[in-house]
Structure formats: structure tokens, C-alpha cells
Structure 1
Amino acid sequence: MRRLFLTGFLAMVGMGLFAQSVDKAKDALKAGKIPDAKTQIDGALAVEKNQKNAEAWYTKLKVYNAIAANDQLRTQYPDARDQAFDALKKYVDLDEKDKKLVLLQMDGYKPINEIYQGYFQVGANDYNAGKYDDALKSFTGAIAASSYMTSKGWTKLPIDTTSTLYAGISAEKANKKDTAAVYYGRLADAKIASINGTNMIDIYKWLVDYWNTKKDAANTEKYLSLAEAQYPDDLFWPDTRLTNIREKGNKDSLWAQYDRIVAHFPKNHLFFFNYGLEMYQFANDTSSGHRPANYDALIAKSQDMLKKCLEIQPDYPQAALVLGQISYNAAVDLQSDTKKIPGKGPEDIKKRADLRIAAGKKFDEAIPYFDMVDKDLGSKGKLKMDEKTALKDAYDLLINIYQEKKVKDKEDLYTNKFNNVDKDH
């Protein structure tokens, strides 16, 4: 009987000492004696059986929050906020089913807000000081605190956009691109278009470029699609798609992509110009030893695209120059074809004559386009180097045409203009 009585007595004394330690920690904290409060609560929780007491963990939460908020003590105990957060989670695990977090509710959830705000503020301070690795760690803590609150239903914020953004930026500035991709990816996955009024398009461009550089086609396409849904009229997305398809070398896929792009951007003359020029260049690529079987269809489509470009932007000399070159080159091809008919009979003579007439018509077809280049660029003052080159090309071909036609005054006119481009422009 005595033994049982003694054991019970000792247990009661132990419980009293535990309660006394927690109370002393609370009293010391209330009095602003934070180091004493830390000593008391650490001592209480050093006893294994006391680690199942929710109030003890809640007291540790508040004590360590106080340490983290004190500049001097935070330097001495740099992990104080992490320990406070861990104490919060242990308190919740022990208390939420039983007492429904009465202590936390009585404090208006202030401790968890202090944890979040503390992480964020330290992160902001480190970021502004250029300590990007430290900032990343703190913003990651803020994200964890925010996510925890969301998981418990204490807030309905699906994603802490600001902390996530700055975690990504801090990681990028710390040259941790893989980590930056994780945080930027969370924003894009959540389809965030702006944060605090700031457009997030550069985040999407960063992700597209990041995955594209890694040659990860699946993720590149994923973020291209997400980006296009948020910013459908930005040209970075179609330019990226065209570049990627172009590198793979499948021309049918390239033309199909161009068709989708010009349908989406019907007033963008540059897409029509690039489509027409690229198709024309492909049609005339004889590196394989011959022209494509559908050469005529490609040339016709190329001309349609370039004419559409001029329809949208009438004073775009590059498109006029290429259209002129297409007709000019067709004329030269027809002239070359006459040499393939060596016979001297009436039928062969007629064939050659018909080809020369057709060539003349093609030269006539080219002249108005070269004149457009002259009108657009020849009337200007100082020209850029590419504009000078375009103007010289137009004059050079006009000289050749009028030589063929034996129109000396026109030939001399454009020869003089050609010789004076550098001086006049």
C-alpha cells in the first residue's frame, strides 16, 4: 500500500513540477524575460512524457516567436522561427481533435500570423540587401506557413503568390535556376496572370525559355499553352513555336504552324512576310539537286502571303522587293528555258519566241514592285544598312530589266540612282 501511495505521490509531484515549469515560462514571457521563458519551456519539454502536452508546445510556440522577433536573440538562435513553426504543428496535432485549438483561437490565430509575417519580412530584408540565398530560405518558410494555414482551413488563399514570386526571383538571382523553375512553375500552374497589379508575362517567358533550353518538349509545350491562355496576343509564343518546328526540319509542320499563326494574327504583316519569304526560299533551295515537286504551288502561296503583307502594310519595302524578285527570277528561268530548245525549225522558233514573250511579261510584273521599293526608300533621307541593301537590289534588278528591254533612258536613270545610294542615303 505504501509503495503504491508513494508512486502516486511522486507522479503528482512530477505533474506539479511540469505545470510549474510551463507556468513559469508563461510568466517569464509575459514579463518580457524571454531567455528565462526559453529555459523553462525547454526544460519542461526535455522530459519525454511531457512532449504529449499540447499546452507545453503552444507555450514553446509563443516563446520562440518572441525570440524570433527579437533582433539580438534571433542572432543567437537563428532557427527560432523554424522551431516555433514546428511547435505550432505539434500543438495542433495534439489538440485539434480534443480541445479544438482553444488556445490558438483565444489568441486570434496570432502566433501563426507572426510566423508567416516574420518569415516574409526577414525574406524581404535579405532580398533588399542582396542576400538571395537567405531570402530564398525565408520566403520558402513563408510559403510553408501559408500552405499550412490553407491545409487547416484557416485561410482560403490557394497560393501565396507574393512569397512564391519572390522565392523564384531569389532563387534565380542566387543562380539556382532549377529551384526558380519550381516556384515560377507554381505560379503558372495556378494560372496567375498578375500579382499586386504587376503583369506576370515575364515569368511565363522565363519558364518557356528554361524548358526549351533543356530540350524538354513536354514542359515547353505545357507552359507555352498556359502562357497563350493568359496572354494570347504576345508574339513570343508563336515565335518560339516556329523556331522549334524550324529546328526539327519538318516543313509541312512549319507551314501548318504558320497557317495557325496568321489566322490568329490577321493584322500582323510580319508573320505574312516571314511566311512568304521562308516558303519562297524553301521552294528555291536546290541543295538536294532539284526543286520540290510542288514548286509552283509553293511559289503561288508565297506570293499570296507577301501580297497580304503589303495589303496590311503597303509601305513595307521588303515584301515588295521579294515579290519583285520572284517575278524577276521567273523571267530569268524562262529565258534559260529558251536555250533548252536548240532546234531551228518553225515550231522550235515559235517556242523560243513564246518563252521570251512570257519572260518579258514576268519582267513587267516585277517592275511595279521594284518601283514601290524606290518610292518607299528612295524618297527617304538616311537609311539603315538593310534598307540601303534593299534599295540597291531593287535598282540593280531594274537596270537589268531595262537592259533586256533596251530602254536606255530608264537604264541610265536607275544606274545613276544605284551609284548614288551611299551618297544620298
Structure 2
Amino acid sequence: MKKVILLATIAAFSAQVVVAQKYDDIKGALAIGQVDKAKETFDKNSANEKFYNKPEGYILKAAVYASLSVDSSKAAQAEQNRAEADAALAKYKELEPDMKLLEDPMYKNAPYNLYAAYFNAGINDINSKAYEPAYDKFKKTVEYAELLIDKKIMNKQMDTAAIYYAGLLAENTKHEEDALKYYTRLADAKIKEYNGSTYESVYQGLLRYYATKNDNANFEKYKALGKELYPQSEFFTYSMLDFAVGSSSNFNERVASLEKLIAANPDDYKANITLAEIIYDTLDSRKADAVPPGNAAELETKMLAALNKASSLKPEEMQPLLLLGDHYQLKAEAVRNELVTAETEVTKKGAKATAADKQKVADAKKAYNEAYDVAKDNYEKAANMFAKMSNLDAQQKRTYRLIAGNIAEYYSYKIEDAKGADRDKFAALEKKWDDIFVKLR
């Protein structure tokens, strides 16, 4: 029995020697640049299942295919060769996590060639505008760069170029969280440029990301970094409000962005007044072909809430009052058209006018008066502010005059149905505002 065991041990040892010799044959061919010879020898010997009994079999496979992947004469097979090498190296790492064999100069070439192969292939994809595949390749490039740095094969602290491309491609292909990961590494290290190329887009990307997340702390952090590194750039003067308004030309998207900003900062005057202005421009558009949006009532509710909030935050500001006055003035004019139509119908029918016809007139007049009253109240508040100001500029005088004219017209209308003391009061108020109107001409 002992004799059999001894013979078996000798046989196993001999097999290991044979396999080790085959490893050396392949490595020798790679060492002198005979990649085809190395591949031929590898194919012949890797068919033996014992070839992969040791982790070295996998790193050797990675070395062969990685060399093939950077061979320009085999460009057609480059993708397949990269995939084979990548999978083999991953298997080697699984079997030998410390990757000790990377201390061998020949095996160091495996991850280095893969790094170069993925980098160059990624650049080719960028040039072909194939951005999603390019992003996948640069993710791999960064992984191999970090392996090379960790194993002291690449003498640098960070491969800024690979990380930059990975971040830029991640942002362009809508992988926002990945873009954040890459950009943050560069920005936190305050990397400004590489080989003469500016990295300003890194800091811009971080501002865009944190603006969409309403993360004011990080927004201000990277805005300050960007301003420090690129003091001439206007981009780093923008506020979160600028991003909410300018991030899209789509009305619904702009409204949604502003609503998110307000939800995070309810007492932001500028955000509230800007939301109101954007809705006003759509809801009360003066364009000849403007069509009211289908959700006009919903938008009006949002606009009025924003205007009232803005006015409560800064009572001294006139803009909320002017917008409220204009909105209700336009609303009154729209209802007046309905009122005139209803009155005309009653007049046309004469004695045949029904109670429903007359009620329609009454309802329209009530709605008209309510809207007109609110318009007048806000115009008067704004006019009283103007009255307290000295040295009005041309624009301020024009606005004050228009307001005074609108208020005078309001009291002229109120005189129509007034009697006695009320009529005298309205007449005096009409004259007051008409005098101001004339004075400001």
C-alpha cells in the first residue's frame, strides 16, 4: 500500500511539473512579443483540465487575451478578447484575492493591457457617439486603473482622465448616481484640469445634480469650489432658483422644479414670485392666439397661493400686488364678456326672458364685481406705495399712471349703480385717481 501511495504522489508531482512547464512556455512567448505563439500554446495546453488546477492558469489566460485585445491587427476580435481576459482575471481574483502573482512582471501586463484596451475602445465609442457603450467601457477603465494603483503598477494617486470620462458619460447617459460618484472624487480633490483640458464641467454637473435634489448645502459647497477654481465663470454665480427656472424650456417641468424648490424652502420669496410669474405668463397670456391650458383652475390656485405667500413674506414688495391686480382685472374682463352676452340675450327676449335668463345675468354680474373688487384692492395698495416714493423713474411713472387709470375706471363703473352718498363718494374717488392719471401723463 505504501508503494502505491508513493507512486501516486510521484505521478501527481510530475503532472504539476508538466503544467508548470506549459505555463513557462506560454509566458516565454509573451515575454518576447510572440503573442500568436503564446495563444497557440495556450490553446493546446488549456484543454487539459489540470491547466486550471492552480489560479495561475486563469491569470495566464488573462495575460494572453489581454495582449490580444491591444493587438491592432486583431481589431475585429478585440471585444471578444477583452471579455475573455476580463472574465479570466476576475476568476483569478476570486481564487487568489491578494492577487500575489501580479508581482510577476509578466502578469502585471494583464490588467495594464486591459486598462489600455478599455480606455482606447471607450474613446473610439465616444468618437462614434456611442455613449452608452463608451460609459460601460470607462467604468471598466476606472476599475482597472484602481487595481493598477492599488498594486503599485501605476504610479499615481488617481487616474483623473478615466474618472472624468466615466463621470461625463454617466451624466450624459442619465446614470446620475454614478456621475455623482465620479464627479465627487474629482471635485473633493479639487482637480482643476488635466493635460491642459479644464474640468469645469465636473463642478457644473454637481451643481445641476444638487439643484434637482434641492440639496442646498451640497449645492453651495460645490458652487464655492467651482467659483474658487474658475473665478471667471458665470456658471458659479447661479442660484438654485436659476436652475429651477432654466433647467428646461417645458412649462410643466419648470413649474414642477419650482414647486420642489418651494417645498424644500417654503419661505423663499424669489421662488414663490417666480413660480407665480411663470404661471401668470401662461394663464394670462396676452398673445393673440393664446389658448387657456386645460388645467387653468389648478394653475390659478397655485399662482394665487404663491402670490399671497410672496406678499406675506415681503409686504414691501409691489410685484405680488401688481400681478394680483392684473390677474383679477383680466378675470373681470373675461366675465364681463359673459355678462354682456347674458344681458343682450335678456334684452333680445324682452318680456319672454325667463327667470333662468335673468339669473344668468345676476350670476355673471356678481362674479364680475367680485373679480373687479379684488383687482381694485391690489391696485390701490400698489398705488399707495408709489405715492410714498420720491423721484420715480420713467418706468415707475408709467406703471403708476396705468394703475391710477384702472382705479379711476373702476370707480366710474361703481357710480353707475350707486345712489346718494355712495354715488358722491365714488365720484370723488374717480376724480382723485383721474387727477393722478392726468398728472403723470
Do the aligned partners of 1:61 and 1:85 also contact (CA within 8 Å) in 2?
A: yes
Q: 2:255 aligns with which of 199, 221, 243?
A: 243
Unaligned runs of 5+ in 1: 209-218, 263-271, 368-425
8 A contact 1:22–1:40 mirrored in 2: no
Q: Partner residue of 1:359?
A: 433
The aligned counterpart of 2:403 is 326
Residue by residue, what CA displacement relative to the aligned partner does 1:204-253 show, whole Å, maximum 9, x if unpaired?
68769xxxxxxxxxx94457886565345256324269633446542365
2:19 equivalent in structure 1: 18
TM-score, L = length of structure 2? 0.58
Contact 2:311–2:321 at 8 Å: present in 1 too?
no
Query: CA–CA distance in 1 between the matches of 2:113 and 2:372?
Result: 70
Q: Which residue of 1 aligns with 2:238?
A: 233
- Is the Cα contact below 8 Å between 2:145 and 2:159 reproduced in 1? no
* C-alpha separation in 2, matches of 1:35 and 1:28: 8
Cα contact 1:325–1:366 (8 A) shared by 2? no
Q: Which one of the candidate residues 291, 307, 315 is aligned to 2:371?
A: 291
User: Does residue 115 of structure 1 match 2:121?
Assistant: no
* Residues 365 and 198 of structure 1: CA distance in aligned 2, closer, same or farther (over 3 Å): farther
Contact persistence 1:120–1:142 (CA under 8 A)? yes
> Mapping of 1:176-325 within 5 angstroms?
177=173, 179-181=174-176, 183-184=178-179, 186=181, 192=187, 196=193, 197-200=198-201, 203=205, 220-222=212-214, 230=223, 231=236, 233-234=238-239, 236-239=242-245, 243-244=255-256, 245=259, 246=275, 249-251=301-303, 254-255=306-307, 278-284=323-329, 285-286=331-332, 289=367, 290-291=370-371, 298-299=378-379, 317=395, 321-325=398-402
Residue matched to 1:101: 100
- Residue 347 of structure 2 corresponds to none
| 1:244-289 C-alpha deviation (Å, 9 max, x unpaired) | 3446542365348868999xxxxxxxxx897665444334334783
Unaligned runs of 5+ in 2: 224-235, 247-252, 260-274, 280-298, 336-366
Q: CA RMSD in A?
A: 4.8
Aligned residues: 333
Which amino acid counterpart does residue 243 of structure 1 have in structure 2? V
> Could you say what secondary structure the match of 1:250 adopts?
helix
User: Which residue in the other structure is 2:272 paired with?
Assistant: none
Shift of 1:142: 1.7
Cα gap change, 1:303/1:113 in structure 2, threshold over 3 Å: closer, same or farther? farther
The one-letter code matched in structure 1 to 2:126 is Y
* Contact residue 328 and residue 375 of structure 2 kept, 8 A: yes
Equivalent residues in 2 for 1:121-140 (5 A)? 121-132=120-131, 134-140=133-139
Aligned partners of 1:64 and 1:84 also within 8 Å: yes
Counterparts in 2 of 1:121 and 1:328: CA distance versus 1, 3 Å: same
Q: Tell me, in whole angstroms, the C-alpha distance in 1 between the residues paired with 2:65 and 2:386.
A: 70
**Residues 67 and 73 of structure 1 are in contact (CA less than 8 Å); yes or no, is this contact kept in structure 2?**
yes
CA change 1:331–1:203 in 2 (3 A) is same
Q: Secondary structure of 1:53's partner?
A: coil
Deviation at 1:337, TM superposition (A): 2.0
CA–CA separation in structure 1 for the residues paired with 2:186 and 2:305: 28
Report deviation, 1:73.
2.6
Query: Structure 1 pair 50/228, CA: closer, same or farther in 2 (3 Å)?
Result: same
* SS across alignment from 2:79: coil
Q: 1:162 maps to what in 2? A: 164
2:404 counterpart letter in structure 1 = S
* Deviation of the 1:332 alpha carbon: 1.1
What is the match of residue 250 of structure 2? none
TM-score between the two structures when normalised by the length of structure 1: 0.60
Greater shift in the superposed pair: 248-257 or 350-359? 248-257
User: Which sits farther off after the overlay, 43-52 or 84-93?
Assistant: 43-52
Alignment-derived partner of residue 81 in structure 1: 82
Q: Percent identity?
A: 17
Tell me: CA distance 1:109–1:282, structure 2 relative to 1, closer, same or farther (3 Å).
Answer: farther
The CA deviation at 1:15 is 0.9
Letter in 1 for 2:68: I
Q: Show the counterpart of 1:335.
A: 412
> CA distance change for structure 1 residues 355 and 222 in 2, over 3 Å: closer, same or farther?
closer
